[in-house]
Copies of this chain bind each other. A is one copy, B any other.
Amino acid sequence: MINRLAIIGIGLIGGSLSLALKQAGQVKHVVGYARNEATRERALSLGIIDTAAASIEAAVAEADVILLAVPMGAMASVLAEMAPHLTDNMIITDAGSTKAGVAKAASDILGNSISQFVPGHPIAGTEKSGPSAAFATLYQDHKVILTPMKQTNVSAVETIKTMWQQTGAEVSEMTVEHHDLILAATSHIPHLLSFNLVGLLAQNEDVDEVLRYAAGGFRDFSRIASSNPVMWRDICLSNHDAILTLLQQYQQQLTEIGQAIQEQDGDYLMTLFQSAKTARDTRFEIPKVTNGKK
């Protein structure tokens, strides 16, 4: 049970955590801070938070647990603003999509309080944002990854782990670097590849005609190109090392594909496509197809 939870950034992610913990009866009081007063008022009126704080200092005062649910680009400044007001009993965690940048910022800024900081990443979301988009079951059966650092206090990790489990999430722990590589592979690179193709087609003056003939495969492939550009810019800038490492491997193999097509090397293509199909079909949990049309 958390006595006082402070949420910095009351949107879909922070708001849904609050609603889930309230529904589970695992939090007594939630205080929320958002830069925008209208956002704070909406969160209050929706019952997402019990108190709205007009400053980060006011929000963290007396808090047991502090969640940073602000955009990646704002993490460092929020950490700097709260640092002077942290006391020994507070546990801080975040919900950022990449972990190396936040971990480094926290190490640089939090000083001795770094042992109380548990970097985290709930892998959940919808296409909507803001407090109105929050709902109590967002994390149910979703994964949350915690990436404790060497300096992180073990009992702080336990507190954050329990908190997320109470929302219905499945919590794992791994290193910061491993998290960033896994997320680059399964999320950041796919987004880049999809943004890149749709961005390329968008430059074509016949884009309307081109897209007119696009079928279901393209619809699925390009769905993530509709994601929030600011969020994805920040993720790319933040997770540069892991993304660049994988991007290089990806480009190299794509060049090999081009060579195989040029040389009419069907065996190369067949081997690659078959291994991809096997991995997709057998190693990845595929939800039932609701629409058989391709």
User: Chain A interface (Cβ within 8 Å of chain B)?
Assistant: 123-128, 143, 145, 172, 182-183, 185-187, 189-204, 207-215, 217-230, 232-234, 236-237, 240, 243-244, 246-251, 253-255, 257-258, 260-262, 264, 266, 269-270, 272-281, 283-284, 286-287, 289-290, 292-294
Q: 10 closest pairs, A vs B, by CB?
A: A229-B273, A202-B279, A199-B276, A198-B276, A186-B214, A190-B221, A126-B292, A220-B220, A226-B280, A225-B276
Contacting pair A190 B222 (CB below 8 A): yes
Looking at the complex, which one of B190, B196, B213, B266 makes contact with A253 (CB distance below 8 Å)? Answer: B196
Which residues of B lie under 8 Å from residue A249 when comparing CB positions? 200
Contacting pair B190 A284 (CB below 8 A): no
Which residues of B lie under 8 Å from residue A289 when comparing CB positions? 127
State the CA gap A211–B186 with chains docked (Å): 7
Q: How far, in Å, is A182 (CB) from chain B's closest CB?
A: 5
Contacting pair B213 A220 (CB below 8 A): no
Q: How far, in Å, is A169 (CB) from chain B's closest CB?
A: 12
Which residues of B lie under 8 Å from residue A227 when comparing CB positions? 217, 273, 277, 294
Contacting pair B269 A236 (CB below 8 A): yes
Q: How far, in Å, is A130 (CB) from chain B's closest CB?
A: 14
Contacting pair B254 A251 (CB below 8 A): yes
Known: A203-B275, A224-B294, A229-B274. 20 other contacts (CB 8 A): A125-B293, A172-B213, A186-B211, A186-B215, A187-B214, A190-B197, A190-B221, A191-B217, A200-B253, A207-B283, A217-B223, A220-B223, A221-B223, A221-B224, A223-B286, A226-B281, A227-B277, A236-B260, A237-B266, A244-B258
Q: Give the oligomeric copy count.
A: 2
Which residues of B lie under 8 Å from residue A225 when comparing CB positions? 273, 276-277, 279-280
Contacting pair A187 B217 (CB below 8 A): yes
State the CA gap A191–B125 with chains docked (Å): 26
Sample of 23 A–B contacts (CB below 8 Å): A125-B294, A127-B289, A185-B210, A187-B214, A187-B218, A190-B197, A190-B218, A195-B276, A195-B277, A196-B253, A196-B254, A198-B280, A208-B283, A217-B223, A217-B224, A221-B221, A224-B294, A230-B270, A232-B273, A236-B261, A237-B269, A244-B258, A244-B262
State the CA gap A88–B182 with chains docked (Å): 61
A127, A243, A261: residue with the most chain B Cβ atoms closer than 10 Å? A261
State the CA gap A219–B280 with chains docked (Å): 9
Which residues of B lie under 8 Å from residue A258 when comparing CB positions? 244, 247-248, 251
> Residue of B at shortest CB range from A248?
B258
Q: How far, in Å, is A217 (CB) from chain B's closest CB?
A: 5
Looking at the complex, which one of B189, B228, B290 makes contact with A197 (CB distance below 8 Å)? Answer: B189
